[in-house]
A and B are shown apart, each in its own frame.
Chain A
Amino acid sequence: MLVYYILLVLISVVTSDYSTVTSYTFQIYTLVFYGICHSYINYSRVFPVLSINYDYVQMPFEVSLWILLASLMKLGFHLLPVLSGVVPESCLLIVVGLLVGGLIRVMGKNPPVLDSQLFFLCLLPPIILDAGYFLPIRPFTENAGTILTFAVLGTLWNVFFMGAVLYGACRLEAGRLASVDLLSCLLFGSIVSAVDPVAVLAVFEEIHINELLHILVFGESLLNDAVTVVLYHLFEEFAHAGEVTVGDVFLGVVCFFVVALGGVLVGGVYGVLAAFTSRFTSHTRVIEPLFVFLYSYMAYLSAEVFHLSGIMALIACGVVMRPYVEANISHKSYTTIKYFLKMWSSVSETLIFIFLGVSTVAGPHAWNWTFVSITIVLCLLSRVLGVVGLTYIINKYRMVKLSGKDQFIVAYGGLRGAIAFSLAFLLSSDDFPMKDMFLTAIITVIFFTVFVQGMTIRPLVDLLAVKKRKQSKCSINEEIHTQFLEHLLAGIEGVCGHYGHHHWRHKLNRFNKRYIKRCLIGGERSQEPQLISFYNKMELKQALMLLESNSSANLSAGVTAAIPRQRSRKTLNISKEREEEIRKILRGNLQKTRQRVRHTHTHTHTDTHRHTHTHTVTHTLSHTHTHTLSHRHTHTHTHTLTY
């Protein structure tokens, strides 16, 4: 029926018989409506207007809810300055986790445990990438020897000392501990000894100690991953196999070098690839940050495939790729990368601590007073002994010796964290029947280090009057003079016939400049000396700062503020050109109130040689940022930053 009527309508339309069109369309409408009502009445259930289908979104919903909770908690802490001044954020987050876990337990469900796969593949990489990408290279390389010694020898000492003493204690104790054999103790030692980068970052970020100590503890926490990975897999394999031969031990040592160097190699390769890719991204600026993140993550995953050290791969990738990528990408991409990394690492850190708290409530526990207390005491003792002993040896080779205060901070700053927990969680219960006891002990150690050491380190730092980080602005003087000193020292080392630190660094720089920069940096930036890029970056920062201040009153004050105060009077009297500039600014500001489209900020430097440099930053609607340096000799450098 309906079809017949529709055909009739169509024919009428074709024949332009409009009266029939209207009457027949009306009939069609009534038919359709009748049909709907008919079917509506015939069905026994109501057509659902609003229904709930939670299963469809469950996974993403819960993940988002957790992340939202974590971020809200972070927000809340900073609104309570009293609390955040005394207690480090990590402690508060663990407490929140405990509360949430308790809540879930009260509601009758099983609280989720920190899944190791989730931890190692999703939560840890952003933090490490953030650390590696922004690693301060100069202090790191200057102290590389010390850092490596602490990381490798210190961790080894911790592992074997703890394992041996624990085993002895277990033998003595008998009872439930009698079944713990040497291998299990050593494995436990290897899990618990490693200083955790997440915890160190969380606590040290708030106490602002001087750069040297920060890089020592932090560098150690990053580099000891190689040792931990090797020892963990080694002992696990041995426990599985049941027998240990001398050949196995030798293979273990070889394995260490393979893991460490292999990780660095993998990271380096991906870093070079990322740098090379960024050379060609000048037309697709929008996805530049994505390349950085993806290549780094792939480096981490590739290293994990072969059981190499993922952390070292990630650090190597970030360090290798950074100078070249930064020379190639746009300023906005750089800001994006920086803030995305900071955001992800912050969220990850928060989630990790909250989950630690939740897992404490959730996980199966087997409390054993002796084991746990011995573990805590041993952790502290072995750390202190290790640091003191190693520093004694290291100070013979260092130019700036580590004082007692420094040693104390390094020893006290050895915090354990979620990596230890996750590694313990990965143990199989068949090979290690004491897994629950281990877990409980590790959680207690983590709580102890984070709460007790984390909370007391700040007052101790103040008490011992440890040097704090100097808040220094970017200074072109420091850069020039530091480079000058480096050249000078390289020369003096040549005179002495001494192939030291500066000599090799000089050689590396020359190699870098001549070959590598040509390949990996696109365009003419490849020839740019480091000093010039530094200067440009500084000028850009200052221009952007002026842009942001963005009010007419501030602007003329800002222009004169660019020139030191003692000179401002002198220069205002100097030239007509200066007057012209001021007039232009005032005119521009008048225009600004009328047209919101075009903003012109002029920022002038004038010196006694009447040489006027004008930096004009033009910000138009199409978001093209033109930075023009115009000189009297009509030689114009135009740095055009296009987004």
Chain B
Amino acid sequence: MGSRASSLLREEDIEEIKKQTGFSHSQITRLYSRFHSLDKGENGALSREDFQRIPELAINPLGDRIINAFFPEGEDQVNFRGFMRTLAHFRPVEDNEKNKDPTSGEPLNSRTNKLFFAFRLYDLDRDDKISRDELLQVLRMMVGVNISDEQLGSIADRTIQEADTNGDMCISFSEFTKVLEKVDVEQKMSIRFLH
């Protein structure tokens, strides 16, 4: 499982990750080398500092939230398996996938799971609702510091007003999904992992 210092990836690990996430053998090996290059402490797991060293995340407005998404609840280290689990959400959706495995649950990169991943990035307190404050925080991160609070507030209000169907002033996951039904999430939330 990569707990030893200079660990190589074992075949059975690769197989397990492949089954869980759906990545191919070569993709897993390539991502493992990336994982390894990020892992400066050589302890087989990534910490928050390792992520913060990535230059693209430093300039990204959502950098902190993305980093948080990798770490499971309350932990400070993420191993390779967790790393792959998070990245699996971004695999392109394949049509023939559904035929392969009818018994197992929904694959990690299905549309619903992708949307749920995005939803959890908004919803920090994990109460399954995006409240006005959570939305405001995200908006503030995206537009920068020049815009006044009132204007952001009116945008947030408008957003909630548009999406909210049951009148609780928050966006639930089903409302979130409904609002994005016209957006091509399969394409927008997929990365072409070279194989």
In angstroms, Cα B151 to Cα A488, docked, is 24
In angstroms, Cα B142 to Cα A506, docked, is 13
A608 within 8 A of B: yes
**Chain B interface residue count, Cβ-Cβ cutoff 8 angstroms:** 62
B54 within 8 A of A: yes
Q: Which of A482, A487, A500 is in CB contact (< 8 Å) with B61?
A: A487
Residue of A whose beta carbon sits closest to that of B154: A613
Q: Is the CB of B187 within 8 A of A142?
A: yes
Q: Is the CB of A529 within 8 A of B143?
A: yes
Give the distance to chain B from A628, nearest Cβ to Cβ, in Å. 13
Q: Is the CB of B187 within 8 A of A485?
A: no
Q: Which of A400, A501, A506, A567 is in CB contact (< 8 Å) with B186?
A: A400
Residue of A whose beta carbon sits closest to that of B117: A488
Interface pick from A167-175, A274-282, A470-478: A470-478
B124 within 8 A of A: no
Q: Is the CB of B190 within 8 A of A629?
A: no
Give the distance to chain A from B183, nearest Cβ to Cβ, in Å. 6
- Cβ-Cβ contact count across A and B, 8 Å cutoff: 156
Q: Is the CB of A476 within 8 A of B158?
A: yes
In angstroms, Cα B99 to Cα A64, docked, is 63
- Residues on B with C-beta less than 8 A from A115 are none
In angstroms, Cα B31 to Cα A100, docked, is 68
Q: Which of B144, B154, B180, B191 is in CB contact (< 8 Å) with A481?
A: B180
Chain B, 155-167, contact with A by CB distance < 8 Å: what is the 0/1 string? 1011101111111
Q: Is the CB of A481 within 8 A of B118?
A: yes
Q: Which of A488, A510, A529, A613 is in CB contact (< 8 Å) with B62?
A: A488
In angstroms, Cα B29 to Cα A163, docked, is 48
Q: Is the CB of A605 within 8 A of B154?
A: yes
Q: Is the CB of A607 within 8 A of B157?
A: yes
Q: Is the CB of A535 within 8 A of B191?
A: no
Give the distance to chain A from B42, nearest Cβ to Cβ, in Å. 18
- Residues on A with C-beta less than 8 A from B164 are 564
The 8 closest A-B pairs by CB, nearest first: A494-B56, A491-B66, A529-B143, A477-B179, A399-B92, A491-B60, A566-B167, A487-B62
Can you name 21 A-B pairs with beta carbons within 8 Å? A399-B92, A400-B92, A400-B184, A475-B162, A477-B179, A477-B180, A478-B179, A478-B180, A484-B122, A487-B60, A487-B62, A490-B60, A491-B57, A491-B66, A492-B66, A492-B90, A495-B56, A496-B191, A535-B155, A567-B167, A613-B157
Binding site for A on B (CB under 8 A): 31, 34, 37-38, 51, 54-57, 59-63, 66, 70, 87, 90, 92, 95, 118, 121-122, 138-139, 142-144, 146-148, 150-151, 153-155, 157-159, 161-167, 169, 179-180, 182-194
